Every structure is written in structure tokens, then in C-alpha cells.
Structure 1
Amino acid sequence: MRTPNRDRRGPAFAALCAALVILLAAIPAAAALSAEYVVLPNGTTYRAAIDVTDVSRYEFAEIGIMGENVPLQVADVQLTVNGSAYQYNWSRPWGAPSSIEFPKGNYTISYLAPLRNNNLQATFTRPYQVNVTLPQEFAVSNPLLAGISQGANITRQTDNTTIVQWNKTAGFNVRFYDPWHEELLWFFLQFMGILVLILVIIPYMLSFKKAE
């Protein structure tokens, strides 16, 4: 007896779905770009490694106070594809961010840049997988001293380095601190506690006793 066509639709649909899942898994995700930032031990410099796709130019800029692009001073710039270095041409217009130009394609751009006030931030034109690595002398666990943009996953490694990660973000901010700043904070809190005791609590207690 021949099976009606409608009875074979279920297995055929399941096979089509399975083939589609396999096909999608084989296609790289469009949003799978990554940006790696490593803060160096002195806390005044960081190394960045940023993936770019289908571009022929990259501009080195950071965010200014008013949200404008401010020239970023970079060094040791490298343009690579799967670990192989490629040549590029510099463009250094006066008063504007410098940039590099190269044949259009997919690359990883790495560079060294200065870091000020223990604060690292960046914005992107599309979602990125961002990893920020802090050396062991810096931390982000104290909310009174640190500041991290939403969506971050924080991991303290066994070697006391800290990794801050975002899955898909168009921008991030990390403010970290060293032991000296943490000691200064506790000294300030203790000093304020003593002032409150002398100026508020003790006078209140004395006035309460006089009232009795």
C-alpha cells in the first residue's frame, strides 16, 4: 500500500530542519567579532587587538568629553590575518585622528595606547565580544572605587588577574583601582566616622543626659 504524500511531510520537514541547523552552524556568526584589551602592569598603557571585517581603513580615536572623536596616540600598530602581517599606509591629518589604509578585507588590528586615570572605554559600530584583562595589582570588586558598564561578566583568575567580558556590546567602560586607592578610601571612611562621632553622636548623647 502506498503511503499518501501528506503522511511523508513530517519526516521530510524534520530532515529539512536538521539540514538547516547544520548549515547555520557552519556559517560564521556575523556578530562574532572580538576585541581584546590587556592592561599592562604599570596601569598607564594597554594593548588592544580588534577584529574588523570588510573594511579598508581604520581610525585611531577615543571618546572626548562631549562625545567627539579625539586623536588616540598609538604605537606598535600591527595588521594581521591569521597571524600573518600585512602592510598598511598611514594617514596623519593635522588636528584629526590618524588612520591606516589597506586592501579591503577582514583583519585583526593591534596596537599599544596610553591609559589615564585607571579608566578604559571604547565604542563600536556593531556588537563585539569584548574581553578586558587586568593585571593582579588592579581590582574592580569595590563598587565605591570601580565602575563597569552593564552586562559584564567578571572573573578573578587563580593568578589574581581579573577578566571582564561582554558577550555582545556596542561599547564598554571599565574603571579599576589599585591597593593604594583602596587604603585611601578606608582611611577617608574612618576619618568621616570619627567626625560623625565627635560632631553628632557625642553631642547628642550629652544633650540627652542633660535632659534627664
Structure 2
Amino acid sequence: MRTPDRDQRGPAFTALCAALIIILAAIPVATALSAHYVVLPNGTAYRAAIEVTDVSRYEFADIGFMGENVPVEVADVQLTGNCSQCQFNWSRPWGAPSRIEFAKGNYTVSYTAPLRDNNLQDVFTRAYYVNVTIPHEFDVRNPLLAGISQGANITRHADNSTTIQWNKTASFNVRFYDPGREEILWFFLQFMGILVLVLVVIPYILSMKKTD
């Protein structure tokens, strides 16, 4: 006798599911913030453009040996967002990294910073989409000289520039090299090969002949 009730709830349940699908489709999908880095041709600096949301300040710091914040000297700082000329104020606490302060909101912070030892790294407070562009003067394909944190997608372009991407990461590290370092590496490997041949292989062969 309860079968008719179940038949009535069936269409109602289907309508409810359809309504939920429509509601969920109407909710904007949260996308990861993005951070873009371009290594300059001389390899001594980089240009960054980092999205931030619901913040009122941005600190310019690098990662120290012990994980501490190390001040970074930046130049050509720009703040863009839903404003014609986004204004900000500098704050330089003694002994701490400098930072800019602005009205709370969503922005893109752009700046140029120095680069040391052909190594670029950064840490975020949340997952980011990260894009790093390396000019044609440098390479990352030799694992003996380069170093790239896990999860990266590497693309080598026709002009020999390289793009490295992480779809969702809270930190990244890229170490690249120039042709000069690769030449030194191959020279060193060849030299070590000759030493092994002279000091190990040849004496071993001679000793085997004496034994015979």
C-alpha cells in the first residue's frame, strides 16, 4: 500500500537533485591564485607578478638557510587591481623585510628582484599556480647542474627558452645553468674518466698480464 508514496517521492527527489545541480553551477568555482616569474637575460634578476587576495600588505622576503625571512631589495614595484592608480605606502621595520601597505582587497603585486647563483625560489601561504620563464641563455635539462622541485611541467620552446609550471604548489625551487657551466662539467667528467683509466684500468690490465 506504500508503493504509491514511493512513486510520488521519486519525481520530487529528481527535482531536488536538479535544483541542487543548478545552484552549484551558479556558484563561481574558486581558482588558484597565480604567480608569474621571468628570469632576465643576464640571469642576475627576475621580474615577478603575484596575485594576492583579501590582503592589505605585501612583504618582500626570501627564504633563509634556516627557513627565516630574509629581506629582499626590490625595484619597480607596481600594484594593480580594481583601481586606476592603486596607491600604497612603504613600511621598513628595522631588521625586518620591507613591505607595502594598501587598502584591503585583491591585487597583483609586480616587482624586480636580484637573483643569486642561478636559483629562484618562493614560498606561499596557500596553493598557487606558478609559471617560471627562463630565457634561451640558460637551461634546466641536465640533472647534474639543474634542480627543479617536484610536480613541475617543463616545456622547451623553439627559441630555446623554457617554461616551468606548477598547477598547485605552496613552494617551488628552480636552479638553472648557462652553457659555460655545462662545458666545465663535461671537461671535469672527461678528466675524471682519464684519471680512472690511468690509475685503475691500465694498472689492473697490466697486473692481469703479469699473472698470466
Q: TM bucket by the smaller chain?
A: over 0.9
Aligned to 1:56: 56
1:16 Cα deviation (Å)? 2.6
Partners of 2:48 and 2:137 in 1: CA distance: 19
Q: Percent identity?
A: 70
Contact 1:50 1:109 in 2 (8 A): yes
**Pairing 1:1-212 to 2, within 5 Å after superposition:** 4-9=7-12, 11-24=14-27, 27-29=28-30, 31-81=31-81, 84-212=84-212
Q: Letter of the aligned partner of 2:205 in structure 1?
A: M
1:96 Cα deviation (Å)? 1.3
Q: What per-residue deviation string (whole Å, max 9, x for no partner) do you get for residues 24-75 of structure 1?
A: 4xx141x510000000000000000000000001110000111110100000
Contact 1:78 1:85 in 2 (8 A): no
TM-score between both structures, scaled by the size of structure 1: 0.93
Tell me: CA distance 1:203–1:84, structure 2 relative to 1, closer, same or farther (3 Å). farther
Moved over 6 A (4+): none
Partners of 1:105 and 1:133 in 2: CA distance: 28
1:121 Cα deviation (Å)? 0.3
Q: CA RMSD in A?
A: 1.7
SS at match of 2:80: strand
1:11 Cα deviation (Å)? 3.3
Structure 1 alignment gaps of length 5 or more: none
SS at match of 1:194: helix
Partners of 2:123 and 2:13 in 1: CA distance: 47
